[in-house]
Amino acid sequence: MNALNKPAMAGSVVTTFRSPVEISVAQTLSDIMQIVAVRAVVYMSEQDCPFHEEYDGNDFGGATHLIARVEGEPVGVLRLRWFADFAKLERLAVLREHRGGRTTFMLIDAAFDLAARKGYRKIAGHAQPRLVPFWIRKYNGRIRPGREKFMFSDYEYTEVEADLTPPPEAIHIDSDPMVLLRPEGEWDRPGILERSAARSKGFA
């Protein structure tokens, strides 16, 4: 399933309430610091998660982070990790005052679309039991059969999964090499290295 009709691009904007919410892919140290701040508020403060459990060593190993901002301020984050044949949605955190709007849906929609654009056909997650109906209803998800519930950081989780349909423009090994060099999630617009390619033509 492709959650949106268009690919999630960095800087995509959807309006919720009176202020627009912008979803983008983390690319800078400042972005990462904002992610750390939001997760500290939600997980460490609200859920009493210890620091070493929240920052588990997986934030830089094959991971992509999404940030939701309102008027430039970070209000929600999400982590995607990439495995051989599936993507895994993790660390979804939205500040309390933004949980009643569309921020949560937008982050998950963007994650589904980003994974589909990368050619993935399945996305997995660990959901607290109260959120499993949300996965099933909104994303046509399902509980993984034959898998027991499990605990970590003092909360119970259920394994869930959903199918993805890569769009025609999905990234693959035969994509234009310059497209493959573009920043994560920004495959529809020229990247910085294409400027260097144009510069090199002047020396031919």
pLDDT per residue as tens digits for the range 50-89: 898 889 899 998 999 999 999 999 999 999 999 999 999 9
- What fold does the segment set 12-189 form as a domain? Aminopeptidase (3.40.630)
Q: What percent of the chain has pLDDT over 70?
A: 88
Q: How sure is the predictor about 155, in pLDDT bands with cuts at 50, 70 and 90? A: confident
Q: What letter would DSSP give residue 89?
A: E
Q: What residue spans of 4-144 are helical by DSSP H?
A: 29-39, 51-54, 103-117, 132-139
Please tell me the number of Cα atoms within 13 Å of 25 on its side-chain side: 19
Q: Quote the longest CA-to-CA distance of the chain.
A: 63
Encode pLDDT of 87-121 as tens digits. 999 999 999 999 877 899 999 999 999 999 999 99
Over residues 32-55, mean pLDDT: 91
Predicted structure pTM score: 0.83
Encode pLDDT of 128-150 as tens digits. 888 888 889 888 999 999 888 88
Position 12 pLDDT exceeds 60 = no
C-alpha of 28 from chain center: 16
The reported pLDDT for the residue numbered 200 is 63
The reported pLDDT for the residue numbered 202 is 55
